[in-house]
Chain A
């Protein structure tokens, strides 16, 4: 037990001294048991403040230190370093938080001073019983995992691989590319999406340091920073990709069709398919929901036409395990289901499109070869684009989806470019064109003659429906049954307006993927109130998470455009690399451990550990804790009916001593 404790009470400028009578606390501390020295200082965290502590330790042979200052979250590390520099074990420091838990929350100076004395006494009593602990260092595995092969994941994987790190890229779909692969052009530069994406996809496919696992999903993750064990399930494609030469005969001949997911259901694909022509890997998979062999029929078409004999209906899912030092999660977003907003008529009227459907209509490889046509093949004379479909809306998503204003402008441009005669209306609340070159793009579209209407579109009617309800009051001349009527208030005019159009394009909110919760739990990444993955700090640690070694990038963290997704992909790769470059990581010594003689083998603790750090030795009938995995959360300690688990640095003895100290004032 320590017997020469040094106590330092910090003024923190006026933050503490403005309320707490610091000299009185110093005096009180002098009278506390085992206190050898008690001093005050204006800013203890400053260099001279730390220097003073170091000198005192050496000069007076102090064997434990109490710093009464701000929250340990702020400066525990600072003071631990100082203590260590003076030759004392850093775990012999105890912080008394008299700012956040004292001066900031207590108005009456007398009460604040009494409280500070009690908190200091608690720390003094505890410090006397603290024990030296060691930091541990663990080797980092020189390999990385990237989950999700959208543009963010592609960028992260390429950056890691280019730096020589063996990287596994896991993509759920048969091909990488994400949403970007579906676009025709990208705002604001109007680059052809495929032209800038395909080279990157090909680079992934050919990179010697990238192991691409498409049509695969991460099943489980265990381990910890530097040493994650990841189980990956590769779904049965029923095609042996080592034999397949990608000739595509099977897809041409397969007689069974299903709506193409990639074309948003606007075209058909076969039961054996690649999602799109530039897919990477460019090897087909068989969809068991469409292939009739899985319904007991005897079709052999693909087998017959596959020259290398790659079709393999006996194929099963396979599971692989990889060990990696760090993980980048880049699982992207999903668009909101526009049917949730009944007044916008999506799903009820064929000429109301979602943004992704419209992307496909515009894509040269899409269902209409890039021609903007209605479902019955007419060229629309007028198109309305409705911004904020479910974004900035407390009924759906309170946040702004950040890309819709811009892609609405992109669509307006594409329509103007392809159909010179067509009128384009854009209904908006505010145009948010915040990125580089974005405002300029907005101006350009005004110049191109797009009609901007300030007022959120409130209701969309089918032409026929409208005629049935309009009566004399709202009769629209020449309205055709197949048309649509968009109703809004133009708030700049203060007038209700109804615009007959041939086509309506909605901009459904960018939202967290439906399985974000499950994926988050797998990687121990938490989610914000908006459903997206939560960064460690919104400004200072935007791609880090609270799980060391796991980073997030792209739209899985929140709505963002391609430039930002790419930037985050690179940022996350940089963080992952930085970690790997360190070769080893230090982990805290404040773990839990099982006192072997007390453990009764009841297994209560086993399922409680969120970090899978507890294992059970069936032969000896005892639990034991892997110190490297243990985060010292204390859950098992509290749960053990035999009190057989001790939390280092938080032992019962230390906690009771702290309470005793608190009560002694």
Chain B
């Protein structure tokens, strides 16, 4: 057994870096018992927190980078500890010593240089808008800014989602445009990786740009952009009215501005993205939308709503290699199949990506498709 001496200065430094709830943890272990890593290779977040409480070594281990910031532990923690903020602050401290995993460093470098984490060039951003004849945002003529997420610009699969969104919004008569130049990544993941100063710079530049263009309302496709704009930007002076495409579609349906008439013959189950569900409590609108699509049969998985299983792509994990056998999304495909679904719907470009990968890796192309909810809605338009 090791002998340890508490190093309280380190513990205090974590609290100062934003982990203000560190001392509230009473070691009940709910967090470790709830963490999705438990299904593959348990992550002892409780112990990590206790080590941090005493400023002891060990919290800087590889484990620290496993957290996907899915929020399962945070929403259940009986002491209301902001566990994700804690993880962020510890990462921030480690980041200062340069001990960030290599792949994350490259993604961060790309955000720093190119304004996106995918090493894509700036001129490629929002190029998809051209062929779809989506105008440049102009506050006199367009009500909403459509913020497509870096995924829409640099990932082929995600482009289909933005195409579907454009069709749906047009069908309902919503006016929207994209940012011409200068838009950058929302930087949500940057923040979760612990790069607070980079986050503030990127977010600050977006805020300035949006304000200069007179943007008031933003439609987003990714729950990660949603979370950043809604919950992180206001503290930096960016107060916009942010709606996720799912919220927008749900309200259009309620107002009868959107008619879904073409039957979609599919047995669908729905995967709640962490940042839409647990982080922002949007559990009902997706289900309401699915119930309005004619011909569609819906079946709930066991791990639905608050219990939803993380896809594994949050908190910077999107840019890290996850060993085979440790991918949460690989567990999700059989779970969807077990309820007899042939379409696994979700509403997050990260989730779509991760689940799509698993579907291919597990050789389930024949059995099941992965779709964004927006795509299903578009299919149902006449």
A458 (CB) vs chain B CBs: closest residue: B33
Given contacts A456-B28, A488-B29, A489-B32, contact A496 B331 (CB under 8 A): no
A458 touches B302 (CB 8 A): no
A44 interface hit (Cβ, 8 Å)? no
Report chain A residues within 8 Å CB of B32: 455, 458, 489, 491, 496
Report chain A residues within 8 Å CB of B262: none
Report chain A residues within 8 Å CB of B46: 489, 491
Proximity string of chain A (452-486) to chain B, C-beta cutoff 8 Å, 1 when within and 0 when not: 00111111011001001111111000000000000
A494 touches B76 (CB 8 A): no
B47 interface hit (Cβ, 8 Å)? yes
12 A-B pairs with CB atoms under 8 Å apart are: A342-B306, A343-B307, A392-B26, A392-B28, A395-B75, A429-B26, A458-B31, A458-B34, A468-B334, A468-B338, A474-B38, A488-B33
A141 to chain B, nearest CB (A): 48
Report chain A residues within 8 Å CB of B330: 471
Given contacts A394-B78, A456-B28, contact A473 B39 (CB under 8 A): yes
B106 interface hit (Cβ, 8 Å)? no
A663 to chain B, nearest CB (A): 44
A469 (CB) vs chain B CBs: closest residue: B335
B171 interface hit (Cβ, 8 Å)? no
Q: Say which residue of B29, B79, B305 sits within 8 Å of A458 (CB atoms).
A: B29
B42 (CB) vs chain A CBs: closest residue: A496
Q: Say which residue of B29, B40, B307, B335 sits within 8 Å of A455 (CB atoms).
A: B29
A429 to chain B, nearest CB (A): 4
Report chain B residues within 8 Å CB of A487: 33, 38
- Complex alpha-carbon distance, A466 and B78, angstroms: 25
Given contacts A469-B303, A471-B331, A491-B27, contact A395 B76 (CB under 8 A): yes
A471 touches B76 (CB 8 A): no
B29 touches A469 (CB 8 A): no
A497 (CB) vs chain B CBs: closest residue: B33
B307 touches A496 (CB 8 A): no
Query: Which residues of chain B in 328-358 are interfacial with respect to chain A, using CB atoms and an 8 Å cutoff?
Result: 330-331, 334-335, 338
Interface centre among B29, B31, B302, B306 (most CB of A within 10 A): B29
Report chain A residues within 8 Å CB of B80: 394-395
Range of interface residues on chain A?
Answer: 20 to 34
A393 interface hit (Cβ, 8 Å)? yes
B78 touches A456 (CB 8 A): yes
A392 touches B78 (CB 8 A): yes
A393 touches B78 (CB 8 A): yes
Report chain A residues within 8 Å CB of B12: none
- Complex alpha-carbon distance, A471 and B309, angstroms: 14
Given contacts A456-B29, A461-B302, A474-B39, 20 further A-B contacts (CB under 8 A): A342-B306, A342-B307, A392-B28, A395-B76, A395-B80, A429-B27, A455-B32, A456-B28, A456-B78, A458-B29, A462-B302, A469-B334, A469-B335, A469-B338, A473-B39, A474-B38, A489-B46, A494-B44, A495-B42, A496-B42
A157 interface hit (Cβ, 8 Å)? no
A468 touches B28 (CB 8 A): no
A346 to chain B, nearest CB (A): 13
Report chain A residues within 8 Å CB of B335: 468-469
Give chain B's interface residues, CB within 8 Å of chain A. Answer: 26-34, 38-40, 42, 44, 46-47, 75-76, 78-80, 302-303, 305-307, 309, 325, 330-331, 334-335, 338
Q: Say which residue of B78, B307, B309 sits within 8 Å of A395 (CB atoms).
A: B78
- Complex alpha-carbon distance, A343 and B34, angstroms: 9
Q: Say which residue of B26, B30, B47, B302 sits within 8 Å of A465 (CB atoms).
A: B302
- Complex alpha-carbon distance, A496 and B78, angstroms: 18
Query: Which residues of chain A in 603-647 are interfacial with respect to chain B, using CB atoms and an 8 Å cutoff?
Result: none
B331 touches A394 (CB 8 A): no
B43 (CB) vs chain A CBs: closest residue: A496
Q: Say which residue of A342, A455, A494, A495 sits within 8 Å of B28 (CB atoms).
A: A455
- Complex alpha-carbon distance, A343 and B39, angstroms: 15
Q: Say which residue of B28, B31, B40 sits within 8 Å of A429 (CB atoms).
A: B28
B305 touches A456 (CB 8 A): no
- Complex alpha-carbon distance, A342 and B302, angstroms: 11
A388 interface hit (Cβ, 8 Å)? yes
Given contacts A459-B34, A468-B335, A473-B39, contact A491 B306 (CB under 8 A): no
Report chain A residues within 8 Å CB of B29: 429, 454-456, 458, 488-491
Report chain A residues within 8 Å CB of B338: 468-469
Interface centre among B34, B46, B306 (most CB of A within 10 A): B34
B33 touches A496 (CB 8 A): yes
- Complex alpha-carbon distance, A426 and B303, angstroms: 25
Report chain B residues within 8 Å CB of A454: 29
- Complex alpha-carbon distance, A196 and B33, angstroms: 41
Report chain A residues within 8 Å CB of B309: 469
Given contacts A392-B78, A394-B78, contact A469 B33 (CB under 8 A): no
B47 touches A494 (CB 8 A): yes
Given contacts A395-B78, A473-B40, A491-B46, contact A456 B302 (CB under 8 A): no
